[in-house]
Amino acid sequence: MDFALTPDQEAIRDAIARICEKFDDAYWLKRDRDGGFPQDFYDALAREGWLGICTAEAQGGAGLGITEAAIMMRTIAESGAGLSGASAVHINIFGLKPVDVFGTQEQKDRMIRPMAEGREKSCFAVTEPNTGLNTTQLKLRAVRKGDTYHVDGQKVWISTAQVADRILLLARTTPLDEVKKPTHGLSLFYTKFDRDRIKVREIEKMGRKCVDSNELFFEDFQIPAEDLIGEEGRGFEYILQGMNPERILIAAEAVGLGMAALRKATQYAKERVVFNRPIGQNQGIQHPLATNWCELEAAWMMVMKAAWLYDSGQPCGAEANAAKYLAGEAGFNACQQAVMTHGGFGYAKEYHVERYLREVMIPRIAPISPQLVLSFIAERVLGLPKSY
């Protein structure tokens, strides 16, 4: 058992950190105030091939694992870019895994390479207003007419739809009352984002202003049949391929953001003098920060275990969910403590930690709530009765 990063993994971390150094706190503060997709940051990662870190070499990527991607995403968040930086490239890392596993060779060549090379942006559309995490109840319909699927309905909380060129869309192709199991009858498509047929309305939100979240309204949106991934009706099965990697990566981002907050708080505690002594000399300041470090390190160990299991081809559902839960909580605790350590200045944008606290709510809530993670662990690991 070896807990050390390999020389290649250290090189990945260091290379990403060098890119991130060019995008300092002032850059991300401006993005937080003004919004606007961080295109220059995205392009900097694309130029050096990092958007395809998990993409097969045959499709223009590096062919590395989720472990290396987790190291990359933690490094981005930990640089101070937080979830603003990580979310700008998040979908590039795992989003087209269903295409990689279930798509035809023609689809892989046509769809994956532009994403890996940073020439196209995509969004992932699953969630609907009245279904939340109950994916089997999706109502957006895709009806086949000849060689085209016609789509009508609505999606919500779709990131990067303002800038997306393509959309990975889960739609119901067989009505729910006509299938034997609710997981049947959903189909997955990857196709052009037609803004004449998809109305996009941005959601004003708490944080991560530069990476948009949106409601989508589909009105006779037409998808060529060749953009159907795999078999019709098996889309729910296909999207599961991306769920564990997504949980692992967002957990890595939460750890990174927590570490960034801890760094800011620690530095401030060393420099801030009250009653003729640095506040970091007081155990009331020291102990919570030390606890944050312990929690973040423990969460990172679970992230790496889950990533190793995934890359080894072993079941990792429990570990991926546990990593997401532990990292979400540890990241939140660290960001909250960073604000408290700064006192009143923690409420000021110029000290950055209030932005971290707003952004860390994302990995705590999404892509699955902490309560549903605990329900999953209780049922699937502990063997307790299903509670929902």
Question: Residue 349's pLDDT is what?
Answer: 97
pLDDT at 279 over 80: yes
Question: Residue 94's pLDDT is what?
Answer: 85
Whole-angstrom CA distances from 165 to 42, 101, 122, 275, 351 are 15, 22, 6, 57, 35
State mean pLDDT over 263-289.
Answer: 98
Q: Is the peptide bond preceding residue 245 cis, with omega within 30 degrees of 0?
A: no
Q: Are residues 320 and 248 in contact, defined by beta-carbon separation less than 8 angstroms?
A: yes
- Residues of the chain with pLDDT > 70: what percent? 100
Question: Residue 149's pLDDT is what?
Answer: 98
* Average pLDDT, rounded, for the chain: 96
Distance of CA 212 to the CA centre of its chain: 13
Host H or E run for residue 147: none
pLDDT at 97 over 80: yes
The pLDDT tens digits of the residues spanning 146-185 come to 999 999 999 999 999 999 999 999 999 999 889 999 899 9
The pLDDT tens digits of the residues spanning 25-55 come to 999 999 999 999 999 999 999 999 999 999 9
Distance of CA 281 to the CA centre of its chain: 37
Residues whose CB falls within 8 Å of the CB of residue 230, separated by 6 or more in sequence, listed in order:
98, 102, 103, 188, 238
pLDDT at 143 over 90: yes
The pLDDT tens digits of the residues spanning 227-255 come to 999 999 999 999 988 899 999 999 999 99
- Cα 90 to Cα 108: distance, rounded to the nearest angstrom: 19
Q: Buried b vs exposed e over 132-162: b needs ≥16 C-beta within 10 Å?
A: eeebeebebbbeeeeeebbbbbebbbbbbbb
Going by pLDDT thresholds of 50, 70 and 90, the confidence category of residue 294 is very high
Question: Residue 259's pLDDT is what?
Answer: 98
Query: Both tokens of residue 333?
Result: 């605790």
Strand partners, 26: none
- Cα 365 to Cα 347: distance, rounded to the nearest angstrom: 22
**pTM (2 d.p.):** 0.96
Query: Both tokens of residue 327?
Result: 């990292």
Structural domains in the chain?
A: 7-116 (1.10.540.10), 122-234 (2.40.110.10), 237-381 (1.20.140.10)
Question: Residue 133's pLDDT is what?
Answer: 76
pLDDT at 132 over 80: no
